Structure 1
């Protein structure tokens, strides 16, 4: 990536706190930042670190128009580098050939992204490298799930989840020892050859998340943090940087094998000093908030750093609104109130900055917008936040046929 040619940067996914963080990093470093999103009011809308915002079509419902809108922005604003941050990356990857004619796109092909996003394909990739994985089965019918339950008495618990999902949503915990209850648990799930699931052994241990910026298999930035407080079952809302050499080495091995380029994140369980990869998110995650301006994270994206940039040990960040809504009730429920109280009053919020206060105050407009959408669609607030950018492998079969031809 030629840093001398890059000045104008387009970020997609303006709704995400990580996008706002990146806008602040890049603008502070002297770059001009543009943001595109398919919702009208988002965190970057009124940020002084964003030169211009664009409202674009919803990628999930009109991917062709979405790519066309991005192309127009790229041409009109002379964009040099496009960085996707959220799940819209899969739709951008569909249009990679066309977009790459006019700017650099920090994303892999949709074929590579699918191998990582698809929970079964990811486990298969890990196995190819002879790395340890939890016992995992691909299932295409309820009968297959029942067969696994009947033949897996050695497992205390099993996890059932769709091959495409996010935020640990739609997860079911099954127990071969409680066979009848487990059968009832799967009674209403939708499963077929076109909507497959994975069954995975439940491993009890410490949960970690990692995030890396990678160029052709070379890591230029990396962070890891344990899961402490979450919104619902999976989405972390508090982050504390830790030094975990085993995770860094695991990620190095994996991304080098794919010669991967882009942002990539992993979920791990560590049990008895063994690291078990659970799933992969080939996009940005909240670990970005652990970096500071002085870390010069922008150089990791531009591949101009000579070392792996990592956040300072025990650097902390939190999504304060989510810590109140989700973290506090859980802290009370699980007798962690003192820990929550200490964290809440000693940790920086990922959105609030004295130099850029409007995104923080706009949270209430965004929340009202989300509540209206939730009421209209019947979806939860978490589901509403991504329903227009989610990608569950649509058109991947057609793309694979085109690739083979």
Structure 2
């Protein structure tokens, strides 16, 4: 039996992956700084381990993961979310024969770097917005020429992002926190999630936010945009990627998709696939599929959407539409054959809820704060 280690358990996508690998006949372990989580509550997870967060020390975090791999006979390590940038550094630390389902650390960080990614895609002739480092003459010229987006080179969930009107002064550059200035592209935002093996795309899901919590989607609608699929397929082939990889796009009025950033990890798009098919696409490098798509066109994270519905009621705007979406949309975590993760979600999510309350921040902003990569 193949033993799979998921390196995060708190998010719904971890639960989907745990269910998928279990249904594919694997023994599933979860490593998690919170100790008890959504995926850990599932009957499909054999055991969950508490590890120190990478924010408290990268070396200690990696060593804790390595110890689990050695002690419990792990065959495959699958990073789930923002911790991917840390987990990639397990390369070279694992016993012979243990697979790590992501790219080499230098490549992962180069894609996570919002400035480096744009340069890479532009060099391949793919559509990306003009971008320049904050503090450069090129950045000043971009800001004079039209609206721009300013965001940290290393960030997630829209943290630190701002949109400036044409001619509005740029913030001062801070060498300790490099930022990129990017031409603002008018259009609809789309997101993707791809699973790839050695430059071959096994499946790509294109979706867009249906309900937003700040800049983070908490309900999602899958859509068909062939131009986005073509963009992703070419990029993955050019860099020979293996692992999950995701992108955010803006599709302009002419139908041209501009990739605004890359996330070298899984995103919420995994919820639209049959979990055991995605597991097989990861487990078997030569697997030919197909990766089946679930019948639901729209999915939601129920408790996050409940919070947004309550907020809409207090604002007196959009309440009825939010309520209709809440009661008619399938939750990503619910499964009557595995009900405990959904039923215990308030308990397993309490560390995130408490931080959100005490810090006055949105759920999505604090959900990965202790595992994200925010420096070079």
TM over 0.5: yes
CA spacing shift, 1:333–1:274, aligned 2, 3 Å = farther
Q: Structure 1, residues 304-357: CA drift from partner, whole Å, max 9, x if none? A: 431452525763211011112125645996965554344322221112222222
The yes-or-no answer on 1:130 pairing with 2:125 is yes
Contact 2:249 2:260 in 1 (8 A): yes
The yes-or-no answer on 1:392 pairing with 2:351 is no
Match of 2:206 in 1: 224
CA distance in structure 1 between the aligned counterparts of 2:29 and 2:322, rounded to whole angstroms: 36
> How far does residue 292 in structure 1 lie from its aligned partner after superposition?
2.4
CA distance in structure 2 between the aligned counterparts of 1:151 and 1:232, rounded to whole angstroms: 26
The yes-or-no answer on 1:298 pairing with 2:279 is yes
CA distance in structure 2 between the aligned counterparts of 1:168 and 1:81, rounded to whole angstroms: 31
> How far does residue 78 in structure 1 lie from its aligned partner after superposition?
1.2
The yes-or-no answer on 1:74 pairing with 2:69 is yes
CA distance in structure 2 between the aligned counterparts of 1:63 and 1:288, rounded to whole angstroms: 27
Match of 1:358 in 2: 340
Listed as ranges, the matches of 1:8-87 within 5 Å are 8-87=3-82
**Segment of structure 1 superposing worse, 85-94 or 11-20:** 85-94
For structure 2, which runs of at least 5 residues remain unmatched after alignment? none
> How far does residue 7 in structure 1 lie from its aligned partner after superposition?
1.3
> How far does residue 192 in structure 1 lie from its aligned partner after superposition?
2.2
Calculate the TM-score normalised by the size of structure 1: 0.85
CA spacing shift, 1:384–1:119, aligned 2, 3 Å = same
Q: Structure 1, residues 128-165: CA drift from partner, whole Å, max 9, x if none? A: 111122121111x4xx48x845774441x211111111
Match of 1:398 in 2: none
Calculate the TM-score normalised by the size of structure 2: 0.91
> How far does residue 240 in structure 1 lie from its aligned partner after superposition?
2.1
Aligned residues: 374
Match of 1:401 in 2: none
Q: Structure 1, residues 349-395: CA drift from partner, whole Å, max 9, x if none? A: 1122222222123222234333444566676543332121111234x
For structure 1, which runs of at least 5 residues remain unmatched after alignment? 1-5, 395-405
Contact 2:142 2:182 in 1 (8 A): no
CA distance in structure 2 between the aligned counterparts of 1:33 and 1:296, rounded to whole angstroms: 16
Match of 2:114 in 1: 119
Match of 2:158 in 1: 168
CA spacing shift, 1:171–1:32, aligned 2, 3 Å = same
CA distance in structure 1 between the aligned counterparts of 2:119 and 2:231, rounded to whole angstroms: 16
The yes-or-no answer on 1:213 pairing with 2:202 is no
Partner of 2:305, secondary structure, is helix
Partner of 1:68, secondary structure, is helix
Partner of 1:123, secondary structure, is helix
CA spacing shift, 1:133–1:56, aligned 2, 3 Å = same
CA distance in structure 2 between the aligned counterparts of 1:122 and 1:253, rounded to whole angstroms: 14
CA distance in structure 2 between the aligned counterparts of 1:328 and 1:247, rounded to whole angstroms: 34
Contact 1:23 1:50 in 2 (8 A): yes
CA spacing shift, 1:151–1:159, aligned 2, 3 Å = closer
CA distance in structure 1 between the aligned counterparts of 2:63 and 2:329, rounded to whole angstroms: 41
